[in-house]
């Protein structure tokens, strides 16, 4: 059963009948496959189409890597990185690396930057571990992960030999095209396919996200179940007032029309920080085009109340806030009494930390609303694989509806090519000779 709740009472928006009809039509357009970007709608019914055999294949590949390695390097960028990172951080003990006994392999990420120091530090540290790698690229041609994989592949081959390297490297890529597919076939790597009709930022529930998560010990069946339940809860047949994705999409578009150009996603649980990052990519790449789109920003609270809090309370009034509100923590810590009471906090003695956190959340909500920052609250009962699976699909569905309401194609990203052309020209890539001359003259 879907356990996510949406509270828009402090958004200041009364959704009009017209907006409700438009949101329902946008959802229907996603389901009919007749809207813009309809080559990339495979994610809409993805959760319900994942079979037991699909999950078993992923779990069995993960089990092989888990048996061989205590460090698994997951290589990818953008949609081929952020989903796994988001769920992994949400699910993990933030201090797991301090534990003497590690029950799951450590999953680390590479190829999401081109930092020499980052890759050097990773390669050095990995020498102390038994290493495997998952390389993820839908196009198979993305520069950042290709560079990282080149280095990590060579290190694994040098250490274990080519035959054993093929047991320690798994590729996730297109079924037929791209350099990574060719390489994986040539080297005999086990390979998982990213469906043609699922774009990178909508791919967390494909092997792109599920394989690294299974390696890390995440219950991917519960994750998928949560997403399946949300798929049903946001179906085109569900009435607007019952459909959290349609309501969220409608309210954020109404706020945008009212001049609220920036949406800040926040949570009072720091392990959701990378869910914010995943969400920023999802909405930023899907909506930021044709000179329009809400700018997705994020905060982690209460930490950022001591940095961004001032701006949110009193800066330019172009913001609204969406808070992922978690009902119950997984653990219990009670504040102790202190004889001296020098900090004056004995009035909190006996209270749980989560009660203080909850009052911070409620107090901040009212303060920000009073300061002119509308608030949307997304409630999940707890952080676990099931609720996070539902949350991911909720955001995806709302993003599709929202993009159509905005009047853009939410499934392309033409703007990300511009930097690549400049970078290749600056690096003298063959074929870029004229562009190289032109761009160097501009430096």
For ligand PA5, the closer of residues 79 and 374 by Cβ is 79
Q: What backbone torsions phi and psi does residue 67 show, to the nearest 5 degrees?
A: -70, -30
Q: In what order do the strands lie in the sheet with 319-326?
A: 5-7, 375-380, 319-326, 262-267, 295-300
Helix or strand or coil: residue 288? coil
Q: Residues 48, 113, 139, 357: which binds ligand PA5 (CB under 6 A)?
A: 139
Whether the CB-CB separation of 138 and 176 falls below 8 Å is answered with: no
Q: With binding defined as CB under 6 A, does residue 374 bind ligand PA5?
A: no
The residue range among 10-18, 102-110, 153-161, 197-205 that interacts with ligand PA5, by the rule CB under 6 A, is 197-205
The residue range among 25-33, 136-144, 287-295, 380-388 that interacts with ligand PA5, by the rule CB under 6 A, is 136-144
Which residues between 232 and 291 bind ligand PA5 (CB under 6 A)? 285
Long-range contact set of residues 24-28: C-beta below 8 Å, sequence gap at least 24: 24/236, 24/240, 24/246, 26/246, 26/249, 26/400, 26/401, 26/402, 26/404, 26/405, 27/234, 27/236, 27/243, 27/245, 27/246, 27/397, 27/400, 27/401, 28/236
Whole-Å CA distances, 13 to 141, 230, 258, 330: 44, 24, 10, 33
Whether the CB-CB separation of 173 and 153 falls below 8 Å is answered with: no
Q: With binding defined as CB under 6 A, does residue 209 bind ligand PA5?
A: no
* Residues in contact with ligand PA5, shown as a per-residue x/- string from 71 to 90 under the rule CB under 6 A: ------xxxx----------
Q: With binding defined as CB under 6 A, does residue 402 bind ligand PA5?
A: no
Tokens read off for 184: 């994986």
Q: With binding defined as CB under 6 A, does residue 112 bind ligand PA5?
A: no
The residue range among 12-20, 42-50, 58-66, 196-204 that interacts with ligand PA5, by the rule CB under 6 A, is 196-204
CB of 347 to ligand PA5, least distance (A): 48
Q: Can you give the length of the chain in residues?
A: 443
Q: Residues 201, 368, 386, 397: which binds ligand PA5 (CB under 6 A)?
A: 201
CA–CA dist 58, 50 (Å, integer): 11
Is 285 designated active site?
A: yes
Long-range contact set of residues 415-421: C-beta below 8 Å, sequence gap at least 24: 415/288, 415/289, 416/285, 420/143
Gyration radius of the chain's alpha carbons: 23
CB of 80 to ligand PA5, least distance (A): 4
Q: With binding defined as CB under 6 A, does residue 322 bind ligand PA5?
A: no
- Spot the catalytic one: 285, 287, 361, 396: 285
The residue range among 138-146, 211-219, 375-383, 388-396 that interacts with ligand PA5, by the rule CB under 6 A, is 138-146
Is 306 designated active site?
A: yes
For ligand PA5, the closer of residues 3 and 143 by Cβ is 143
Query: Using CB atoms, what's the residue nearest to ligand PA5?
Result: 200
Q: With binding defined as CB under 6 A, does residue 184 bind ligand PA5?
A: no
Which residues between 412 and 441 bind ligand PA5 (CB under 6 A)? 413
Is 420 designated active site?
A: yes
CB of 440 to ligand PA5, least distance (A): 26
CA–CA dist 280, 294 (Å, integer): 10
Pairing of strands 71-75, 131-137: parallel
Active site residues: 285, 306, 420
- List interacting residues with ligand PA5 (CB under 6 A): 77-80, 137-139, 142, 145, 199-201, 285, 413
């Amino acid at each position: 059963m879907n356990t996510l709740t949406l509270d828009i009472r402090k958004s200041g928006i009364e959704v009009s009948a017209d907006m409700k009809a438009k949101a329902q039509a946008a959802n229907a357009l996603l389901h009919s496959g007749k809207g813009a970007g309809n080559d990339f709608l495979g994610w809409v019914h993805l959760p319900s189409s994942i079979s037991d055999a699909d999950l078993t294949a992923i779990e069995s590949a993960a089990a092989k890597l888990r048996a061989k390695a205590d460090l698994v390097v997951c290589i990818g960028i953008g949609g081929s990185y952020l989903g796994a990172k988001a769920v992994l951080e949400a699910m993990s003990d933030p201090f797991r690396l301090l534990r003497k006994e590690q029950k799951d392999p450590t999953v680390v990420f590479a190829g999401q930057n081109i930092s020499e120091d980052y890759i050097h530090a990773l390669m050095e540290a990995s020498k102390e571990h038994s290493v495997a790698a998952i390389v993820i690229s839908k196009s198979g041609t993305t520069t950042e992960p290709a560079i990282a994989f080149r280095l990590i592949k060579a290190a694994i081959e040098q250490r274990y030999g080519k035959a054993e390297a093929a047991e320690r490297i798994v590729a996730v890529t297109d079924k037929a095209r791209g350099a990574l597919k060719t390489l994986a076939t040539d080297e005999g790597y086990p390979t998982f396919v990213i469906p043609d009709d699922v774009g990178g930022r909508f791919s967390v529930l494909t092997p792109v996200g599920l394989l690294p998560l299974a390696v890390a010990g995440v219950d991917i069946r519960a994750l998928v179940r949560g997403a399946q339940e949300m798929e049903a809860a946001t179906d085109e047949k569900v009435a607007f007032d019952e459909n959290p994705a349609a309501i969220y999409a409608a309210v954020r578009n109404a706020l945008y029309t009212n001049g609220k150009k920036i949406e800040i996603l926040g949570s009072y649980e720091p392990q959701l920080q990378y869910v914010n990052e995943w969400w920023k990519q999802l909405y930023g790449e899907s909506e930021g085009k044709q000179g329009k789109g809400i700018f997705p920003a994020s905060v982690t609270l209460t930490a950022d109340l001591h940095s961004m809090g001032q701006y949110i309370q009193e800066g330019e009034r172009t913001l609204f806030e969406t808070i992922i509100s978690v009902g119950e923590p997984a653990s219990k810590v009670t504040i102790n009494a202190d004889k001296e009471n020098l900090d004056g906090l004995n009035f909190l003695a006996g209270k749980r930390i989560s009660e203080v956190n909850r009052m911070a959340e409620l107090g901040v909500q009212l303060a920000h609303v009073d300061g002119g920052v509308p608030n949307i609250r997304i409630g999940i009962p707890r952080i676990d694989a099931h609720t996070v699976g539902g949350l991911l699909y909720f955001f995806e569905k709302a993003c599709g509806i929202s993009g159509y309401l905005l009047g853009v194609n939410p499934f392309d990203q033409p703007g990300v090519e511009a930097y690549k052309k400049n970078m290749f020209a600056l690096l003298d890539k063959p074929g870029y000779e004229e562009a190289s001359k032109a761009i160097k003259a501009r430096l």
